[in-house]
Copies of this chain bind each other. A is one copy, B any other.
Amino acid sequence: MAQLQPVLIDGQWRPSQNTGSFSPLNPSTRQPTGERYPVSSREEVETVIEAAARASEVLLGVAPEARARFLGLFADRIEARRAELVAMAHTESGLPVKPRLDDVELPRTTGQLRQAAAAARQASWTLPTIDTKAGIRSLLAPLEGGVVVFGPNNFPMAFNSVAGGDFAAAIAAGNPVIGTANSSHPGTTRLLAEEALAALAEAGLPAATVQLIYRTEHQVGQRLVSHPLVAATGYTGSRHAGLVLKEAADRAGKLIYLELSSINPVLILPGALRERGAEIAAEFTTSCLMGAGQFCTNPGVVLLLKGAETETFVAAIVEKFRSAAVGTLLGEGVERSLGQSVAALQQAGAEVLVGGAAGGGTGCSFQNTLLRVSGNRFLAAPEQLQQEAFGNASLLVVAEHAAQAEAICRTFEGNLTGALYTDRAGSDEALYQRLAPLLRRKVGRLLNDKMPTGVAVSPAMNHGGPYPATGHSGFTAVGMPASLRRFAMLQSFDNVRPDRLPPELRDQNPGGIWRCIDGVWTQGDVPAAS
């Protein structure tokens, strides 16, 4: 049996006080990768939490510039170890090296870290607010205690618990991170944590600013997110596991940000299909099958209106799904759950148009799958027909008429995204005006004439949405500086003496931080009292 990998606690790679172990699988071969990782005990988790709490206090005295330096150095180190990281991520995830891992995901990861560094350095994310008349000043500040990050299976680097979006946001906001590796890519996580540790030392940050464990029993995980010394949790993953953690955190009054599931409705209106149906068919197929459909923003349900153009479109995508190569799934769990979801959708009344069975690709895989259901049927079982089929599958819903399409939109649960395709001539406009307001409230990001799978790291991005897409519709998990604000508390300073104020709130503003002074946003100093 392979040697057990150590855990990273308080700056040391230590043998784990484990209660068990697990061996990740290569999904392309269904063979073990040859490594073995510990399941951490409750005692070990306590040690990690306490070290994070100490680091949280030390970080109060560390300038934002040092956090920024760490994030930049970490990005540099990831690039320096690029080949090894990409190879490990490929082994563990089955995701293609080119273009996905090497050209897209790794650059996205380092890009996010550098954007987070810029946000930390610039400090405008803290929304400093100054009321000169009342003598009160406020800003967003780091939390007390460590932030726990659970990364998802589908982005071994860009959402990794020790290098991804939640990690970068939590660190940039001034918090230490307790990373819990996703069990499908512990090796990638380990390599990233090695580089993080080295970068911490270079930047002069407390060693416990980044710690890593690999897995816990459920009860220990619940203890982790609800521990008095833990400040908050960022979780991306399955709805079931997420809700178990949410309940534990909620009960203890702890912050928890969740990204749970999303079927990302795409509404394609008749005019658009008549105008450019073939083009949209190609776009949809690419979006739905890219990465074997394993994106949080995968278009999982397509709402169409009954008519000849819809039948032409359906025939086109069925053909495309049939002929497209079948990708490798992230693991046996994904393959199994995709099969279960497709069966459940059929059970609820959907008909398989193409695919529907496991296999068809290299290693863990499932045929490219399209299902179809009438609007009437959908409305009879909207909950069952909205369950996420994570992977290369999508459900087409064909509504009888516009009023039924409206009714269907009203039944949608909260989602990360919703898209509307309309024609350029304007024949869909009236229908757009009926449907868009309904869809708008169900989704974090509304798109026009565009598939939802690209998630730009933009200040205006919302990778979030109403429950159950996430746990709080006011926040985004992607995009700087907004994503930092999840891991911060509002602090008001009332009559606090000038020399005791944090630098961001003093009269002088040498760094040109954007601040709202008496209702005016400015990069300037507080004006001298008149």
Contacts and interface: CB of A to CB of B under 8 A. Distances in A.
Interface of A: 57, 60, 129-131, 134, 136-138, 140-141, 143-144, 246-247, 250-251, 253-255, 417, 432, 436-437, 440-442, 444-450, 452, 456, 458-462, 464-468, 471-476, 482, 485-486, 488-497, 500, 514, 516, 519, 521-522
A494 B456 CA distance: 10
A83 to B, nearest CB: 30
A485 B250 CA distance: 21
Shortest Cβ-Cβ A-B pairs, 6 listed: A253-B467, A462-B492, A521-B521, A473-B489, A250-B250, A445-B492
B250 A467 contact: no
A460 B247 contact: no
B467 A490 contact: no
A500 B435 CA distance: 12
Given A253-B468, A474-B485, A495-B447, A456 B134 contact: yes
Given A138-B461, A500-B436, A255 B490 contact: no
A224 B476 CA distance: 27
A529 B494 CA distance: 43
A466 to B, nearest CB: 6
A459 B516 contact: yes
B462 A138 contact: yes
A450 B495 contact: yes
Interface centre among A138, A436, A465, A467 (most CB of B within 10 A): A138
B460 A475 contact: no
B490 A464 contact: yes
Contact of A473 (B437, B460, B490): B490
Contact of A492 (B140, B460, B485, B519): B460
Nearest to A437: B60
A416 B326 CA distance: 56
Given A134-B460, A136-B458, 20 more contacts: A60-B441, A129-B460, A134-B461, A136-B445, A143-B473, A247-B250, A253-B468, A253-B471, A255-B472, A440-B491, A444-B489, A445-B492, A447-B496, A448-B500, A449-B495, A460-B492, A465-B489, A474-B488, A474-B489, A482-B490
Contacts of A485: 474
A129 to B, nearest CB: 4
